[in-house]
Structure formats: structure tokens, C-alpha cells
Amino acid sequence: MKTASRLALAALLTTGLAGTAIVAPAAAQKKDKNAGPKYSPEVVKAAGPAQTALQASDTATAEPLVAQVEAAAKSEDDAYIAAALRYNLEAVKLQNAQKANPNAPVNETVLAKPLEALIASPKTPQADKARYTYRRGALAFNGKQWPQAIQYFNQAQQLGFTDPNLGLQLVKAKAEAGDIAGATTDLDAEITRMNAAGQKAPEEYYRYAIAQSNKRKAGPQTVEWLKKYVAAYPSPKTWRDVIYTYGLQQQSVATTDNAQKIDLFRLLRATGGLNDQYDYEEYAQKVYDRGLPSEAAAVLKEGQASGKIPASSTSARLLLTDANLAVRNEGSLAGSETKAKASANGTLASQTADAYLGQGNYAKAVELYRLALQKGSVNADEVNTRLGIALARSGDKAGATAAFAAVKSQPRADIAGLWTTWLSTAA
């Protein structure tokens, strides 16, 4: 997620006060002694020239004049002018320094004290307090003072300040402070707000939430953000990123066994996310090792046809030869189906259904998976996952959704959840 850079925030901090008329004209005070702010004569004498010098970016002239105003300040009105001039002076000095040397470090901490004085002053217009409070939060944000940044950003929101960066800066401040739950809740609210306003949240918002949740090993939160991300951006690339992040790469969100990885590869295939030679060959090898040569052969042929498995790949050619031989030796599944129906438990029915699923015979797979569940003595969550896959691939979204909803144990429940997300986004 992009956040405002230090220099960008510094530029934000230096706008707003420099051009503001902060000294009431003396003539106006003479006409009505009760109207407007009242300044000490010594303050008026130095403040006018100081403001003129600051408008010209002449900090050498303004510096002693601002010091005179601060020394002469007696009333709340005087103190407000002193803080405003000090803020402007330090802001203009920062601007001048950046223009002279754009790559030099920026010491924004000099703005903190005058900003705090402006926020605390009863003479600061209420409409300006929210703006100054946000700027003070941005200053803390740049200094990585996360609790202070959160405090001022929240206060700015309560005062009615609106800015497209505020919500995201608050999210990052909370995340950096260790409040991942609060940060992702706020980010979710920001995405909801943008969607309601017809503004699609950028991909980087989701990626930021995923990275932060995963960094802190918050598995359930990470999975929810993975599903939200791919629901918002259901492209083959996003699906591949999500599936690999969840369970196909090293240090993935979930630890998955080969049987579970196969069902993730099946989802990768369904979403068009198989991207390179490794994807195709790894998938094919896993299903071949599982005794599903028809599926292995089909995957390898798809990879070759797409050009993602090069013709020179010896490993793919040898595996395809072995798979084709195994398919011929396997023959018809009719005998296995008959035995499964006569069996006392659902084990053979489940195995036969797996073979039908690998062949792409989804109707038979559905029939045998349901028989396996009826007879029992099978891993119900695994069977329901694959029943859902067979139903999904055959176009029965309602049936597939119901089958996936019946999966309860982890990580299969998450795998089923990813399949359900695909059902909700697939054309």
C-alpha cells in the first residue's frame, strides 16, 4: 500500500498558513475596540513586518521579528499570532532548505511545538484545528511515532478533517504499532467507503493487508483478505498469487499435504492460473503419484498446447509417456464402480470417484462421491471438497456451494472457501 512519503508530507505541512492574514489591521481596531482580536502594540509592531518577510521567503529578516513577537506576547491573541508566525517561519525554512538541497534530510520536528500551540490555542478557528491536528499526526507519522500519529489522526477525524490519505495513514500507523486487527478493520472500512463512492480500491490495499496479516501469522485474517482480494480482482494472475500464498509455496499461510495441494492445483487450473512449466509439471506429477494418470496426461497436454511446457522438456515428455501407459493399463472404471456399489463402506467409491474426477467425468464422480458419503468410513471433508469440485466443474454452482459449506476442518475448509469464492466470481 502506498503511503505519503516523508517529503510529500513535509510539503503538506508547509501549506496553509503562510498566506493567511494573521494580524488585524490597526484601523479596524481603532474603529471598534471590541471587534476582532486584540494584540499588544509590541506584537503588532513586529508581526506585520514578519509576515511580509515570510511571504517573500525572507527568513533572515523574519527570524528576529518572530522572536520579538514571542517575547512580547501577553494575551491569548498574542500567543496565537506567535505560534502561527513560528510555524510559518520554520515551514518556510524547510521549504528553502529543500529547494537548495532536495536530497538533504528533512528535520520536521521543529514544526511540532508551534503546531501543538496552534491546536491548543482557544483562538485557533475551529475549522483550522482539524487541519493542524492532521498535520501534527503526519509529523508523528514521518517520525515513526506511531502512537502519537494514531492519537492525532483520530482526533483530526473527530474534528471533521477529510483527506484521501488520512484513512490509509491511520491504517499504516496502527499496523506499525502492532494493532493488525485494528489496522485491517480500518482498511476494510476504507475499501467499503471507496466502493460505496464508486471508487474501486487499488490492489495494493489488499496486498498490504495480506502482507501485514501474514507477517504476524494471523492465519484466519490472512485467508479472509486473500478471498477479498481475489473477489475484487479475479484475474488468473491474482488467483495464482492467492493460491500460492495460501498453500503452494514455502512458508505459505497453511501447511498442506499433497492431497490438499492437488485440490489447490485443480483450482489453479479452473481459474486459468497455471502460469509456467513448473506449475504444469508439478501438478501433473502430484496427480500421477496419486494414481490419477488421466488427469496427469490432460494437464501435461494442456501445458504443451499453450506453449508453457516447451517441446524440449524431457521431464514432461517422460511423465506423459508414463501417464498414457498407465491410462491404457487402467482401462474402464466400470468394474471398480460395480465393486464400490457392493462394498460395505465408501472407501472404494471415493477412490473410483477420484479417478472419474481425474478423467473429467464429473457426473460419475458426483454419483460416486455421494455414494461414498452415504456408505461412510471416508474422510468426509476430503470427499465433500472433491464433490464440490466435481459439481463446480459441471456447472452446478448451488450444489457445489452446499458441498463446500459441509467442509469443516482446516485447511480443507479454507480450500473449500477459495473454491466458493471462485464460484461467486466466475462467469
The string of pLDDT tens digits covering residues 324-347 is 999 999 889 999 999 999 999 999
Rg (CA), the chain: 33
User: Distance between CA 388 and CA 416 in Å, rounded?
Assistant: 8
* pLDDT class of 34 with cuts at 50, 70, 90: low
Give the number of other Cβ atoms within 10 Å of residue 149's Cβ.
25
pLDDT for residue 68 is more than 50? yes
**Could you tell me which CATH number the domain at 337-422 has?**
1.25.40.10
CA neighbor of 259 nearest in space, from 300, 281, 289 = 289
CA neighbor of 140 nearest in space, from 156, 153, 126, 128 = 153
Q: Which set of grid coordinates corresponds to residue 208?
A: 498490504
49 vs 12, more confident? 49
For residue 64, report the phi and psi dihedrals to the nearest 5 degrees. -70, -30
User: Distance between CA 384 and CA 366 in Å, rounded?
Assistant: 10
Could you tell me which residues come within 8 angstroms of residue 128 by beta carbon, excluding any fewer than 6 positions away? 118
112 to 104, 137, 188, 211: CA distances (angstroms): 20, 10, 31, 32
> Which ranges in the chain are annotated with CATH 1.25.40.10?
337-422
Is it true that the peptide bond before 411 is cis, omega within 30 degrees of 0?
Answer: yes
Alpha helices (H) along 121-257: 126-142, 146-158, 166-176, 180-196, 203-215, 219-232, 236-243
Query: Stretch 390-416: mean pLDDT, rounded?
Result: 98
Predicted structure pTM score: 0.76
User: Distance between CA 427 and CA 164 in Å, rounded?
Assistant: 33
316 vs 164, more confident? 316
User: Distance between CA 49 and CA 62 in Å, rounded?
Assistant: 8
For residues 238 and 229, is the Cβ–Cβ distance under 8 A?
yes
Alpha helices (H) along 73-165: 76-100, 112-120, 126-142, 146-158
**pLDDT tens digits along 206-233:** 999 999 889 888 899 999 999 999 999 9
Give 346's Cβ-side CA count (13 Å radius): 20
Could you tell me which residues come within 8 angstroms of residue 330 by beta carbon, excluding any fewer than 6 positions away? 293, 294, 355
User: Distance between CA 403 and CA 389 in Å, rounded?
Assistant: 9
For residues 142 and 6, is the Cβ–Cβ distance under 8 A?
yes
332 exposure class (CB count in 10 Å sphere: 0-12, 13-18, 19+): exposed
User: Distance between CA 268 and CA 55 in Å, rounded?
Assistant: 61
3-state secondary structure of 381: helix
**pLDDT tens digits along 104-131:** 888 889 999 999 999 999 999 888 999 9
For residues 420 and 398, is the Cβ–Cβ distance under 8 A?
no
Q: Which set of grid coordinates corresponds to residue 45?
A: 509592531
Helix or strand (DSSP H, E) at 161: none
pLDDT for residue 29 is more than 50? no
Give the number of other Cβ atoms within 10 Å of residue 30's Cβ.
8
CA neighbor of 425 nearest in space, from 267, 283, 202, 259 = 267
Give the number of other Cβ atoms within 10 Å of residue 191's Cβ.
20
CA neighbor of 336 nearest in space, from 308, 304, 360, 371 = 371
* pLDDT class of 25 with cuts at 50, 70, 90: very low
CA end-to-end span of the chain: 29
Give the number of other Cβ atoms within 10 Å of residue 367's Cβ.
18
pLDDT of residue 36: 66
Could you tell me which residues come within 8 angstroms of residue 415 by beta carbon, excluding any fewer than 6 positions away? 247, 256, 260, 263, 264, 267, 385, 407
What is the maximal distance between C-alpha atoms in the chain?
109
**pLDDT tens digits along 270-297:** 999 999 999 999 999 999 999 999 999 9
Q: Which set of grid coordinates corresponds to residue 245?
A: 500464498
User: Distance between CA 320 and CA 294 in Å, rounded?
Assistant: 10
pLDDT of residue 12: 35
User: Distance between CA 220 and CA 57 in Å, rounded?
Assistant: 54
Handedness of CA 217, 219, 221, 224 (dihedral sign): positive
